[in-house]
Amino acid sequence: MKIASAASAFPKHYYSQKFLLEQLQEYWGERLRNPALLARLHRNVTVDGRYLSLPTEEYYDIKTWGQANDIWIKTASDLGEQALCRALNFADIEPRELGALFFTSVTGISSPSIDALLINRMGLPQNIRRLPIFGLGCVAGAAGIARAADYVRAYPSQAAALVSVELCSLTLQRDDMSVANLISSGLFADGSAAVIVTGDDLDRPGPTILATRSVFYPNTEEMMGWQVSEKGFRITLSPEVPVLIREHLGHDVDAFLADHGHRRDEIHSWVLHTGGPKVLEATAAALDLHNGQLDASWACLRKVGNLSSASVLVVLEDVMKNRRPEPGTLGLLAAMGPGFCSELLLLQW
């Protein structure tokens, strides 16, 4: 099982963090009783700029969750198609050759789901197996690759695609002045990514998926996720998330590697979800990663912000195109998200 390609696609509207801060201060107006707090939170997330689905002035026109979700469906279909087309092209695989299509997002809903819309738009096989995934949030990029690997393990002559689209700007709550929503307004952004996973019978280059593992942390469901109301998705984000990462991630990675005859010091490539500064710092501490080992994650965070499930896929794309390890190098791809849970993949480049 190999990761044959990874590709991203973004909306055309890109704004600096400074500009977005000014726009949000105007957007919230008198609701924002502490502008200095918002400015500090935006600085602390270390993001330089982000892509948005719409020009900033058009967010004023969104009055209901239904309006926001209609925009999500259209934009998700467009970006999902772009990302999947690019990933198929890089993997040298025709759309008709896909055996399965996994789609993940946690920022909008659609029935039929976006994967069905992509089948019609792109002329994908009528007998393609499809699986929409909702609710996994940031961990879904890694989990989606793992589930695609499960599929091609069963069908080694086939290829599976994972498409992630996250349009976080469409979930912003104008009446929510909580710290979690203020952080979200400065950290999360919009974008899409797709990955092609191929079975052993297909001759494609790319890192081999040696093993995968899911880890669930009981009684942590309040740490991250959505409160769903008539106004849409309201973010839940606990300050205890970095604490949980420091307490568990190192042990979980070591146990996973040991079960497959490896140690952490043998891993020389790290593809990790961007999270945010505190998440990356906690990850570095938990795994004892220093000297630039998380540079790819930090670079993606600065450039495009946190893209939820698409983040780890964008980091993977950067590593595959610009930071590719030497052949034979062992690597780990990982993400964490609502549940609370983690997903780990052992790779060999």
Pairing of strands 98-104, 159-167: parallel
Edge to edge, what strands does the sheet with 341-348 contain?
Answer: 129-133, 98-104, 159-167, 190-198, 2-9, 208-216, 341-348, 330-337, 267-272
**pLDDT attached to residue 345:** 98
Q: What is the pTM of this model?
A: 0.94
**156, pLDDT greater than 90:** yes
Tell me which residue has tokens 């709550």. 173
Instruction: Find all residues with CB under 8 Å of 12, minimum gap 6, and list them.
Output: none
Domain boundaries 208-348, corresponding CATH code: 3.40.47.10
CB count within 10 Å of CB 110 equals 19
Q: How many whole angstroms separate alpha carbon 227 and alpha carbon 9?
A: 28
Q: How many whole angstroms separate alpha carbon 136 and alpha carbon 248?
A: 19
Residue 70: exposure state from Cβ atoms within 10 A (0-12, 13-18, ≥19): middle
**3, pLDDT greater than 90:** yes
**pLDDT attached to residue 331:** 97
Q: How many whole angstroms separate alpha carbon 115 and alpha carbon 107?
A: 15
CB count within 10 Å of CB 251 equals 11
**Interval 82-97 mean pLDDT:** 95
Q: Choose from 30-39, 80-89, 174-183 the range with maximum mean pLDDT.
A: 80-89
Question: Percent of the chain, pLDDT > 90?
Answer: 81
Q: Write the CA distances from 133 to 13, 114, 136, 295, integer angstroms.
A: 27, 10, 7, 29
**pLDDT attached to residue 332:** 98
**pLDDT attached to residue 293:** 93
The tens digit of pLDDT for each residue in 178-234 reads 888 888 899 999 999 999 999 999 988 899 999 999 999 999 988 788 878 888 888
138 counts as catalytic = yes
Q: Where are the domains of the chain?
A: 2-198, 208-348
Separation of CA 4 from chain center: 18
**6, pLDDT greater than 90:** yes
Q: Are 209 and 345 in contact (CB under 8 A)?
A: yes
| Residue 155, helix vs strand vs coil | coil
Tell me which residue has tokens 């998330």. 241
Mean pLDDT value across the chain: 94
Q: How many whole angstroms separate alpha carbon 212 and alpha carbon 334?
A: 10
The tens digit of pLDDT for each residue in 53-80 reads 999 999 999 999 999 999 999 999 999 9
- The helices-and-strands tally (H runs, E runs) of the chain is 10, 13
Q: What is the dihedral sign for C-alpha 203, 144, 162, 127?
A: positive
346 dihedral zone (left: phi>0; alpha: psi -120 to 50; beta): beta
Q: Are 55 and 11 in contact (CB under 8 A)?
A: no
**pLDDT attached to residue 310:** 97
For the domain made up of 2-198, the CATH class stated in words is alpha beta
**Tokens describing residue 318:** 């950067």
**pLDDT attached to residue 227:** 77
**pLDDT attached to residue 170:** 96
**Set 138, 168, 300, 341: catalytic member:** 138
CB count within 10 Å of CB 320 equals 22
**Interval 28-35 mean pLDDT:** 83
**pLDDT attached to residue 342:** 95
Look at residues 197, 206, 198 and name the one whose alpha carbon lies nearest to residue 141: 197
**pLDDT attached to residue 230:** 82
**252, pLDDT greater than 90:** yes
For 103, phi then psi, to 5°, come to -125, 135
**Interval 120-132 mean pLDDT:** 94
Q: Write the CA distances from 301 to 50, 106, 171, 192, 274, integer angstroms.
A: 9, 19, 19, 14, 6
**pLDDT attached to residue 176:** 81
Question: Percent of the chain, pLDDT > 70?
Answer: 100
**pLDDT attached to residue 32:** 83
**Tokens describing residue 90:** 């890089």
